[in-house]
Structure 1
């Protein structure tokens, strides 16, 4: 039997299974990842993260050509085994995993560069014990697809935003509408993006801006995972969308409340254009061991 050590972690309720595979020797299939993330027959998680050195993957080698300091690559897959470009909660929890397991060092004030399929993400510790990540540049993805969801009386327009992975953000009229959503079924998009998208539903707090900070509530249906308690990139996309709708004078600092907690978003200028940062808690829950052969036989 082949035994594999794993760690369960979460960031505002968005949970992950971590496996350390520094030399890139463990290649789980999408079916095996699905079984691992199954909440009834597996460990249970919104996603799977393999900790692998960047020089052991083609995508990582491309990262090292531009950022040789990015020793570690976040090999991320959704709960259904599909590969995702980026996960804002996942990269913060990954930083916790790397540092607490002694795979990387991150002193206060220092930066840990992590390779992802959406480029290098720089992570730092926050003063409250969490982590903040520079998500890099973002862009409007174009168009306003119509979104239909169970619990909404009529379809609503959404705003496409890309923060390394694709999102559609939908504004709702009230907290009641937000709570009445039935996200056990996947919302539909018209037109449907070729690669799909994460879908966020948002309402402002009252007042929306307090002490120069914007405040909103959000729920999310993640591509490949379903409704989750939180989505880091979705939180970022939501703050960007609401600021876009609010227009001139809208703040660059936001608090986004999700079902798993509250995250902070900050937009700031850089030489290459505006970047957006995400900050919040990330914790490891427990360690375990699985029989790889049993996982591969499971149905």
Structure 2
């Protein structure tokens, strides 16, 4: 019988997570594997495979056509995070995944990274610098944008969203980080808990490339060492995956949208609470950083 895992059958893999957004990591430093979407989906299947929100191939940038562009931008980006969603589709970036990726590189001795030191890795969203502080990892997530521009920010929305479990249409604001996101604010945590995030959301206008959906409840501000720090709770429906316990680019999008709704004087630093834990998002002009944990959980081998 042909294995559903294809090229992954018999290979040693590692599992890990960042705020319970979990991944299968596949070592392929020389780029020898050609993975199909079906093979990735089989490995990520939670009933018939290892189970994960996505798969990360650990490969040198020089071994990939996409990596040539990355190395042209930053010759120090030796390693490339080849990230796939659980359905096998390609994604531009994954903020939780890149922390787990760098943690894997450090633990496996593929990079030397002490406290306060950083490494640049390649992604389809461009090179990303990741700094290790001894417990957490901070990712420079790159440039963010709101596709609707100033009119969308002034109106507070540029998409109308219908979500099962929520009554009536809701206003959504599009944010790219660089993955596409749509952020919807809810009035309280009871409504957040009542939303059904099983993939039945609809959008007007419909996003041609798909979108992640973040449902958020703003929780006000705290005073952190003399700096105002915003707080927001979030659930996420990830494109090509379903509901996940966390989404790195999604937490950035959530913070950026709530900050935009807050107007002038809104905080630049945000604690984002997700079902899998907490991360910190910092807005630095037209760029954003994400700080959070990374954990490796197991080494496994697919048997058939």
Normalised by the shorter chain, which TM-score bucket?
Answer: over 0.9
Partner of 1:133: 139
Match of 1:282 among 290, 294, 300: 294
Partner of 2:77: 70
Match of 1:195 among 205, 209, 232: 209
Give distance in 2, aligned partners of 1:27 and 1:103.
Answer: 22
* 1:73 positional shift: 0.3
User: Do the aligned residues in 2 keep the contact of 1:54 with 1:71 (CA within 8 Å)?
Assistant: yes
* 1:126 positional shift: 2.6
Contiguous gaps of at least 5 residues in structure 1: 295-299
User: Do the aligned residues in 2 keep the contact of 1:126 with 1:279 (CA within 8 Å)?
Assistant: no
Give distance in 2, aligned partners of 1:121 and 1:171.
Answer: 29
Deviations along 1:26-73, whole A, 9 cap, x unmatched?
A: 111000100000000000000000000001111111110110000000
Give distance in 2, aligned partners of 1:135 and 1:221.
Answer: 20
Partner of 1:7: 14
Residues 1-299 of structure 1: matches in 2 within 5 Å? 3-127=10-134, 129-142=135-148, 144-205=158-219, 208-211=220-223, 212-269=228-285, 274-291=286-303, 294=304
Partner of 2:155: none
Partner of 2:3: none
Detail structure 1 runs of 4+ shifted over 6 Å in the superposition. Answer: none
Give distance in 1, aligned partners of 2:233 and 2:249.
Answer: 15
Contiguous gaps of at least 5 residues in structure 2: 1-6, 153-157
* 1:189 positional shift: 1.1
User: Do the aligned residues in 2 keep the contact of 1:186 with 1:226 (CA within 8 Å)?
Assistant: no
TM-score by length of 1: 0.93
Return 10-19 or 98-107, whichever deviates more: 98-107
Secondary structure in structure 1 of the residue aligned to 2:88: coil
User: Do the aligned residues in 2 keep the contact of 1:203 with 1:218 (CA within 8 Å)?
Assistant: yes
Secondary structure in structure 1 of the residue aligned to 2:49: coil
Aligned-pair Cα RMSD in Å: 1.2
* 1:111 positional shift: 1.3
User: Do the aligned residues in 2 keep the contact of 1:186 with 1:221 (CA within 8 Å)?
Assistant: no
Secondary structure in structure 2 of the residue aligned to 1:238: helix
* 1:204 positional shift: 1.2
Give distance in 2, aligned partners of 1:222 and 1:185.
Answer: 9
User: Do the aligned residues in 2 keep the contact of 1:8 with 1:15 (CA within 8 Å)?
Assistant: yes
Give distance in 2, aligned partners of 1:32 and 1:3.
Answer: 13
User: Do the aligned residues in 1 keep the contact of 2:199 with 2:237 (CA within 8 Å)?
Assistant: no
User: Do the aligned residues in 1 keep the contact of 2:53 with 2:241 (CA within 8 Å)?
Assistant: yes
Deviations along 1:254-293, whole A, 9 cap, x unmatched?
A: 0000000011001124xxxx321000111000001124xx
